[in-house]
Amino acid sequence: MSNTKDSCSFNQTTDKDQQWIDIETPYSHFKMTLFGAHITQFINKADGKDRLFVSKNARLDGSKSIRGGIPICWPWFGDHTDPDMPAHGYVRTLQWTLTKHTINTDSSVTLWLSPESSKELTTAKGYNPELAVELVITVGEQLVVELITTNNGTKAQVYTAALHSYFAVNDIKQTELMGLYGEYKDKCQGFTLHDTPMPYTFSAETDRVHLCTTEKIMIEESDADTFVYSSGHDSIVVWNPWQEKSESMADMEDTSYQHMVCVETAVTQGHTLAPGESHHLTQIIK
Ligand code: BG6
């Protein structure tokens, strides 16, 4: 399926493993797969830089969540208390459906996606029939990713989630994050609390839950900076596996940690939804 209007193009294609959506707008190139509703590319035409990192060893055959891009962690973030449950929830490995798309008058394209008709959904480990999820993505001058969670049940529901974005950087040792403040929980040091470093640079494995609701983060690079805007979150997670951990990960090249940093717009503390209520978790990338 393909159509073009107002200099935007929308194409849906299928290869042997995946169904892909490619979008071109006057400002950007975008690519995603319906497996996990996983965005894998967002190139800003102004500087030609893909804002997203995808590991060259990422599995693209649907057997595992893709290492890179924007995995959707929902309805829990991180490890579940039950070790039998998958880390980061169950929707990042489900097939999603594109329920609608529009080409907008401002030369952007909006997509609505849901895992509702996935045949694996109701049998997924940890499946919560009371909670529904929808992803709304707008591609234009910026990339807007909005995860909408709705409580369709009759009692309160608590959920956690993350838009687990892997950003491409030229050299992690030259990268600086601007905009984080306050305390973070350090997963590399038994979840102890520490003050956010200033300047925020990288020299070792980093796995931090920043308990702050900062709305704007800049990933400063020598060529093109990346801006990450967040809303609906209670935390920002920053992750880089560094050398040793990358070596132990089959879907990560040993040294490609040098070219990525995850800055995740997240709900880690638990958001309570009353019956009928919805919550929006949004990340905007520029
Ligand atoms: C981060 C976590 O969000 O995701 C890390 O803070 C974790 O602890 C990383 O290692 C990657 O998780 P996964 O399940 O995709 O390997």
Q: What is the pLDDT of residues 29-49, one digit of tens each?
A: 999 999 999 999 999 999 999
- How does DSSP classify residue 196? P
Please write the tens of the pLDDT for every residue from 82-118.
Answer: 999 999 999 999 999 999 999 999 999 999 999 998 9
Q: Are 143 and 30 in contact (CB under 8 A)?
A: yes
Residue 2: is its pLDDT beyond 60? no
Furthest-apart CA atoms within the chain: distance in Å: 52
Provide the pairing of β-strand 8-14 with 72-73.
unpaired
207 Cβ closer than 6 Å to some ligand 1 atom = yes
Residue 187 CB less than 6 A away from ligand 1: yes
CB 160 within 8 A of CB 268: yes
Which of 79, 164, 260 should be mutated for ligand 1, with most atoms under 8 A from CB?
164
Pocket test for ligand 1, best of 38, 55, 210, 239 (most atoms within 8 A of CB): 239
Tell me the CA–centroid distance for residue 120 and ligand 1, in Å.
Answer: 23
Q: Is the CB of 188 under 6 A from ligand 1?
A: no
In the predicted structure, residue 4 carries a pLDDT above the cut 70: no
> Over the stretch 151-182, which tens digit does the pLDDT of each residue have?
999 999 999 999 999 999 999 999 999 999 99
What was the pLDDT predicted at 74? Answer: 98
Average pLDDT, the chain: 96
Q: What's the pLDDT at 46?
A: 94
Centre of ligand 1 to C-alpha 153, Å, is 30
Kindly report, residue by residue over 220-276, the tens digit of the pLDDT: 988 889 999 999 999 999 999 999 999 999 999 999 999 999 999 999 999 999 999
pLDDT value at position 222? 83
List own/partner pairs for 5-8 with CB under 8 A and 24 or more apart.
5/103, 6/103, 6/105, 6/107, 7/107, 8/103, 8/107, 8/108, 8/109
Cβ atoms of residues 214 and 236 within 8 Å: yes
User: Distance, CA 208 to ligand 1 centroid (Å)?
Assistant: 10
Cβ contact 255:125 at 8 Å: no
What's the mean pLDDT in 1-21? 83
Q: What is the pLDDT of residue 223?
A: 83
Residue where the block lists tokens 């209670």: 234
Whole-angstrom distance between the N-terminal and C-terminal Cα of the chain? Answer: 28
Ligand 1 center from residue 36 Cα (angstroms) = 16
248: CB partners within 8 A, 6+ apart: none
Q: Is 157 helix (H, G, I), strand (E, B) or coil?
A: strand
* Nearest-CA residue for atom 9 of ligand 1: 239
**pLDDT for residue 63:** 93
Whether the pLDDT of residue 11 is over 90: the answer is yes
Which DSSP state fits 93? G
Please indicate whether residue 88, judged by its CB atom, sits closer than 6 Å to ligand 1.
yes
In this predicted structure, the answer to whether residue 6 has a pLDDT above a threshold of 70 is: no
* Helix, strand or coil, per DSSP, at residue 54: strand
Whether 218 has a pLDDT exceeding 90, the answer reads yes
Q: Is ligand 1 within 6 A of the CB of residue 87?
A: yes
Probe target for ligand 1 pocket from 76, 205, 207, with the most ligand atoms within 8 Å of CB: 207
- Judged against a pLDDT cut of 70, whether residue 189 lies above it is answered with yes
Mutate to test the pocket of ligand 1, among 57, 88, 236, 251 (most ligand atoms within 8 A of CB): 88
